[in-house]
Amino acid sequence: MKKTKLLPYLLLLPSMIYLLLFFAYPMLESFQLAFRREGQFLNLRVEPQDEAAVVGTLALQTDVTVLERQRLEETLPNGRTRPFYWFRVEGLDTAGTTIEGWASQANLFIESRTESTTARVVGGESAREWTLDYVNRMLNDYRFGSALGTTILLVVLILPLQFILAIIMALVLQAQIRGSSLFLYIFAIPLGISDLASGIIWYSIFTQRGFLNSFLVGTGVLESPYIFIRVGNESWMIAAIVLAEVWRATSIVMVIVVSGLQALPRDYIEAGQVFGANLWQRLRYIILPLLKPSLQVALILRTILALQVFAVVVAIAGRDVLSVLAYETYRWYDPQRFNSPNMAAVYAGFIMLLSLGVSLFYLRAVRSEEEAAKLL
């Protein structure tokens, strides 16, 4: 009896451990990278002893006043002894308060151990400190604003197009025309296409010597190729990226919408038909409201993925031309470039926050709308 109660947990255990290891632990690590910095600090002690309690910490290079000194004997490995000093010092800590406590000669630069009344902190224990430096650096980075702006612009352009197209695709598949299984396969093909491949494909269309120019020049619309993708022509680059993303990632929305539609009893739609609703009215009053849960899932999923848009941008616009958040993350991380995992972690954390915020917003918006409807 006891065994069967434990069984589900045992079965779940490997997954839970794995997910903790690969989600929870990296999240912690990421947090550390983003907000903590390695540094050396001098711990001031209550008494002239290494194990004594810590009064406070002083940063390196802090100037201190020596208030009191104590001479101790230090035994060397060869058995001889030599004098070893501890000083009671006073100085300003990182927060700007004056603190006093004992520090050993090992961590202080002092001209004369017996005479000098001032010293400077030169050593201490290495420790991690909290810092907002990385965050500030990101916020002040000249590329941050444009990266955020471009990312949001892409999300705002891509998502509505995707949802409209996905709903049309789903309705076509639901119309039960002959050959709909073939259409289903074709519509589903992009599910397996990577963002990089999609980027390359649309690059082949939009590049200067690409298919679009070949077509436009070939049909005489243009006399010579138009350079869509170049610095200073952001709107065409963004258009190409939007097309590539809509082309590639609409299928997943379609799959979610179709499975939502399949779960709807056909009766609902037929009742709409019988009671005089045209296609648009059926969509507006019956299908979309009933599909809301599916659409919400798709919306959250697609927004989070669109916030990470990366390979498509690199493939179409090239490196460093058009900046998006995920590309910034990579740029800061890249060992051959900035080699700063800390900055990369800050950017990644920012993407995470955005994703979380958007998800909560969607969930909230849908709920409140329902509540409002109840009140009416």
Partner 1 sequence: MTEATVRSEVGSPAPMTQAVQAARRRAKMRHTLRRASVYAVAIAIALWILVPIWLIFTMAFSTPQDVRSFPKPFYPSPFSTDTIEFFLNTEGVLRSTLNSFIVAIIALLLSTAIAMPAGYAIARFVFRGRDTIRLGILSVRAFPVVVLAVPLAVVFIRLGMFDQTYSLALMHTALTLPTTILVIASVFMGLPYEFEEAAQVFGCTRLQAFWRVVLPLAVPGIAAAAVLTFVLSWNEVFAAILLTITNRTLPAQILYNLDKSGDPYKFAGGFFMLVPSLIFIFFIRRYLFSMWGQLNK
Partner 2 sequence: MAEIIVEHAVKKFGKFVAIDDVSLTVDDKEFVVLLGPSGCGKTTLLRAIAGLGMVNEGRVLIGGRDVTYLQPKERNVSMVFQNYAIFPHMTVFDNIAFGLKMRKTPRDVLQERVETAARLLHIEDMLDRRPGTMSGGQRQRIAVARAIAYDAQALLMDEPLSNLDALLRLEMRAELKALLGRLGATTIYVTHDQIEALSMGDRIAVMRKGQIVQVDTPTRVYDLPVDHFVGSFIGNPPMNFMRASVQKHDGALQARVGDLYITPPDYMLAALRPYEGKDIYIGIRAENTEVLSQPGAGALPVTVEVVEPLGAMNLLTILIEDNVLKVSTHPDFPVVAGGQVWLLFPEAKIRWMDRDTGRAITPELEQVVA
Residues 64-123 that bind partner 1 (CB under 8 A): none
* Beta carbons within 10 angstroms of residue 200's beta carbon: 15
Identity of the residue numbered 278: N
Identity of the residue numbered 157: L
Contact flag: residue 371 with partner 2 (CB under 8 A): no
Closest approach of Cβ 75 to partner 1, in Å?
37
Tell me the CA distances in angstroms from 311 to 244, 275, 308, 317, 323, one per residue in order: 11, 49, 9, 10, 12
Q: Which of 258, 259, 250, 350 lies closest to 301, judged by CA?
A: 250
Distance CA 72, CA 84 (A): 5
Residue closer to partner 2, measured from CB, 96 or 265: 265
Closest approach of Cβ 341 to partner 1, in Å?
5
Determine contact, residues 132/36, Cβ cutoff 8 Å: no
Residue closer to partner 2, measured from CB, 290 or 304: 290
Contact flag: residue 189 with partner 1 (CB under 8 A): yes
Place of tokens 């009766």: 267
Ranges of beta strands (E only) in 181-233 are: none
Contact flag: residue 262 with partner 2 (CB under 8 A): no
Ranges of beta strands (E only) in the chain are: 36-45, 54-59, 63-75, 81-92, 98-104, 108-109, 118-121, 125-130
DSSP β-bridge partners for residue 101: 89
Contact flag: residue 155 with partner 1 (CB under 8 A): no
Instruction: Choose one: 46-54, 101-109, 220-228, 260-268; the region binding partner 2 (CB under 8 A).
Output: 260-268
Instruction: Choose one: 45-53, 114-122, 137-145, 164-172; the region binding partner 1 (CB under 8 A).
Output: 164-172
Binder of partner 1 out of 39, 113, 225, 233 (CB under 8 A): 225
Binder of partner 1 out of 112, 209, 373, 375 (CB under 8 A): 209
Binder of partner 1 out of 52, 161, 197, 283 (CB under 8 A): 197
Residue closer to partner 2, measured from CB, 79 or 276: 276
Q: Which does 81 bind (CB under 5 to 8 A by kind): partner 1, partner 2, none?
A: none
Binder of partner 2 out of 31, 275, 338, 361 (CB under 8 A): 275
Distance CA 306, CA 69 (A): 63
Closest approach of Cβ 280 to partner 2, in Å?
11
DSSP-derived secondary structure for 7-23: HHHHHHHHHHHHHIIII
Binder of partner 2 out of 286, 313, 345, 351 (CB under 8 A): 286
**Residue numbers at the binding site for partner 2 (CB under 8 A):** 265, 267-268, 270-278, 281, 285-286, 289-290, 373-374
